Chain A
Amino acid sequence: MSANIIELKNVKKTYRSAGGATTQALNGIDLTIKRGDFVAVMGPSGSGKSSLLHIMGLLDQKFEGTYRLDGENVSRLSNDQAAEIRGKKIGFVFQQFNLLRRTSVLQNVLLPTVYQPLPNAEFRALEVLKMVGLENYIESLGNELSGGQIQRVAIARALIMNPSLLLADEPTGNLDSKTAHQILEILREVNEQGTTVILITHERELARFAQYTIQLKDGLVEK
């Protein structure tokens, strides 16, 4: 098992618009994140935070440079290979649209197990729901929950496969500060139990929950 969960070497990302114009989102990122870290990634709008998250989360395979995830080179994967690794190793918490509406909390948490088998999936779902404090809401529907509850369900879903990496993209962007703090407390707990957490945020105050912060500017890591 590699000590580094993420190793990025000279990663570049270029977007081409339909008109042919190109935008360089990432200009050669070198980044190493150790297993078990809780890292905040900060930067102004357009600094490449989202592009970096998509690459680290294997949602985007079209980039230059090398990416080693858990010691494994994942720079050139097919869509389905990437999907398989995502399902097993990476949990996501997004800013919005995290849950299927009209679908119960339990079913939402079980969603990843639809695509990759997990023994005793329901038991595990209850376990992670207990961890985020929603064990009494398993039959509630996605559209009946508050914003904070939705993000807690999303964290539970991200944890069900027991991933080595949890990527949270502005998970508290739509929440009041009290609820935001609760969510970050949960993320800290998750991290304390061994999962590497990468938090993308633009709020300096929230970044304090992380062990350290990586600052992005113009597609580069600010030293």
Chain B
Amino acid sequence: MNIGNLIYQSIHSIWGNKIRSGLTILGIIIGVAAVIALIGLGKGLQADVQSRLGALDASAITVRSQDPERPQFDRQAMGRGVMMFGEQADNALTVDDYQAIRQIEDVAAASPEAGKQIGVDIIKDAQTVSGYQVTGIDWQYLELKKITVVEGASLTEQQIESSESVALIGKGAAKELFPDDNTFVGKTIYIDNEAFEIVGVIEGPETDAANMPIRIRSTDPSDSIYIGYKRWLELAEEEKLPTIVLTAIDEKSVAAVASAIETLLLEAHNIDDRDKADFGLMVNQDILNTITGTASSFAVTLAWIAAISLIVGGIGIMNIMLVTVTERTREIGLRRAVGAKTRHILVQFLTESVLLTLIGGALNVVLAILFGQYIGEIVNFGSGGRGFGRNASEVKPLIDFPTIALAAGISVVVGIVFGLFPAIKAARLDPVEALRYE
């Protein structure tokens, strides 16, 4: 029994029941299209999440002061990458802590990040009501935060160490304070009524922040003012720092560095129980892993949903093949009489069900590409991809060759799995019974 003859007979039989075959194929088309579209969507989602997280530095660590009673960062939750923003705690990190952290092996760069809303104006005693975020930093801060100097120069280590009254000003803040000017270096601003000379104008990295529907002004470097951290402590009348930001030399060293910082600070602060620590560590890598993990488990969930619709399609195949076997009982008897062995009958009905699913699989590849893009559009619209006028990256379903190959593979597998029982039933028919069947 050759393959050509098998396929000819199967097509003949499928064509002989056009409506029934068409509806069965439709079930498979929907099932396989759902698999391709949802897997594609899942992949697109992962790609989107990864591109959005691209700006997040995986080697970055943030050390923040934390109220031991009301942790801002839940340390247990931290491992799962959950951030908890609680109330502002008292500053707990000393300059010595900072200097010690700098000495830890594999720390690439570190800086305090001591921010406070302070009144800023261009004339003394201006009774300024609204303030600017004035942040105390060390010389590596700009590098850590990917902030660029657009005019003048950054703060030098010397200027910071000797608490000089010099400042970096964000481009936006500069424009607001000096609306009529285009250059700002050398100008004087009054922070809390103390005179500071602008030595540089800075601009933050391009992030989604600028496009956020709700613009968080204070977090945008372009709207902030930076001074040396020692000068900041004087100005803010603080002894300790709220936050220290740093990066490890690479992603692999993050865990070791974070652990070293924890040990160092617990000892320096004389704390035995790490659950009572007055500081918290936020590791970007954990967050990245969690978000990426969430995206991929979402993709897996989508794949399962798709699999269910495929199973429904498969049951349709099985159902129709059982009907076919019953209808063709006498034909089976006749074939057995003229010499067909059990395996001939088995292969014939299996071929028919696989052919049905393969036709479905082939048709759906085109449909799934359209269907998938359509789903992508719905998702983007639903997520506000257009609503706020932001140029956020869109979720694009990825229909690639492996997905198509998968669809074809799935079609064949569904055809075999769900066609097997009816085919076995056909093959096991007793020739005498089959010939007598009315």
A100-117 interface bits toward B, Cβ cutoff 8 Å, 1 = contact, 0 = none: 101100000001101110
Cα-based distance from A109 to B435 in the complex (angstroms) = 18
Binary per-residue interface labels of chain B (328-340) against chain A in the complex, 1 for a CB within 8 Å, 0 otherwise: 0011001111111
In the assembly, what is the distance between CA of A161 and CA of B5, in Å? 18
For residue B16, CB closer than 8 A to chain A, the reply is: yes
Give the B interface residue count (CB, 8 A): 21
Q: Is the Cβ of A87 less than 8 Å from the Cβ of B338?
A: yes
CB-based contact A79/B337 at 8 Å: no
**Nearest 5 interchain pairs by C-beta:** A87-B339, A112-B338, A115-B339, A80-B341, A97-B330
Given known A94-B435, A97-B330, A98-B334, contact A86–B339 (CB-CB < 8 A) = yes
Query: A84 and B432 in contact (CB under 8 A), knowing A97-B330, A97-B334, A103-B12?
Result: no
The B contact surface, by secondary structure, is helix
- A92 CB–B CB distance under 8 Å: yes
In the complex, chain B residues whose CB is within 8 Å of the CB of A64: none
A71 vs chain B, min Cβ distance (A): 20
- Determine whether the beta carbon of A86 is less than 8 Å from that of B338: yes
Contacts of B163 in A (CB 8 A): none
Interface centre among A60, A88, A112, A114 (most CB of B within 10 A): A114
A145 on the interface (CB 8 Å rule)? no
How many contacting A-B pairs (Cβ < 8 A)? 64
A100 near B340 (CB under 8 angstroms)?
Answer: no
* Chain A residues, CB < 8 A from B435: 59, 94, 97
Give complex CA distance A86, B9 in Å.
Answer: 22
Chain A nearest CB from B68 CB (Å) reads 80
Whether a CB of chain B sits under 8 angstroms from the CB of A83 is yes
**Contact A102 to B340, CB < 8 A, known contacts A94-B435, A114-B5, A115-B1:** no
Q: How far is the CB of A91 from chain B (nearest CB, A)?
A: 8
Known interface pairs A59-B431, A60-B432, A115-B1; A102-B338 also in contact (CB < 8 Å): no
| B344 close to chain A: CB less than 8 A | yes
Distance between Cα atoms of A83 and B334 in the complex (Å): 11
Q: A54–B341 contact, CB under 8 A?
A: no
Contact partners of A161 in chain B: CB under 8 A: 339
Contacts of A59 in B (CB 8 A): 336-337, 431-432, 435
CA A170 to CA B344, docked complex, whole Å? 28
Residues of A within 8 A of B296 (CB): none
- Residues from chain B with Cβ under 8 Å of A115 in the complex: 1, 335, 338-341, 344
Report the bound CA distance from A80 to B330 in whole Å: 18
Within 4-32 of A, Cβ neighbours of B (below 8 Å) are at none
Inter-chain contact A79/B339, CB cutoff 8 Å: no
- State whether the Cβ of A57 lies closer than 8 Å to any Cβ in chain B: yes
Residues 1-31 of B contacting A (Cβ, < 8 Å): 1, 5, 9, 12, 16
Cβ of B94 under 8 Å from chain A: no
Task: Please give the distance in Å from B14's CB to the nearest CB on chain A.
Answer: 12
A102-137 residues at the B interface, CB under 8 angstroms = 102-103, 111-112, 114-116
B380 lies within 8 A of chain A by Cβ: no
Interface residues of A in 122-166 (CB under 8 A from B): 157, 161
Nearest-neighbour CB distance to chain A for B75, whole angstroms, equals 71
B108 CB to closest chain A CB, in angstroms? 75
Residue picked from B9, B336, B339, most chain A C-beta under 10 Å? B339
Q: Is residue B91 within 8 Å, beta carbon to beta carbon, of the partner chain?
A: no
Q: Which of B5, B338, B341 gathers the greatest number of chain A CB atoms within 10 Å? A: B338
Please determine whether A79 and B432 come into contact, CB atoms closer than 8 angstroms: no
A80 to B344, CA, bound (A): 10
Q: How distant is the Cα of A102 from the Cα of B331 in the complex, in angstroms?
A: 12
- Judge whether B12 and A92 touch: CB under 8 Å: no
CB of B1 within 8 A of CB of A102, answer no
Closest to A111 in B: B338
- Answer whether residue B165 sits at the interface, using C-beta atoms and an 8 A cutoff: no
* Least CB separation from A161: chain B residue: B339
Is A116 a contact of B331 with CB atoms below 8 Å? no
Other-chain residue from B330, B337, B343 in contact with A92 (beta carbon distance below 8 A):
B337
Residue in B closest to A110 when the chains form the complex, CB atoms: B5
Known: A103-B12, A114-B5. A80 touches B342 (CB 8 A): yes
Give CA–CA (A115, B343) in the complex, Å: 10
Interface-centre pick from A60, A83, A116, A157 (highest chain B CB count, 10 A) = A83
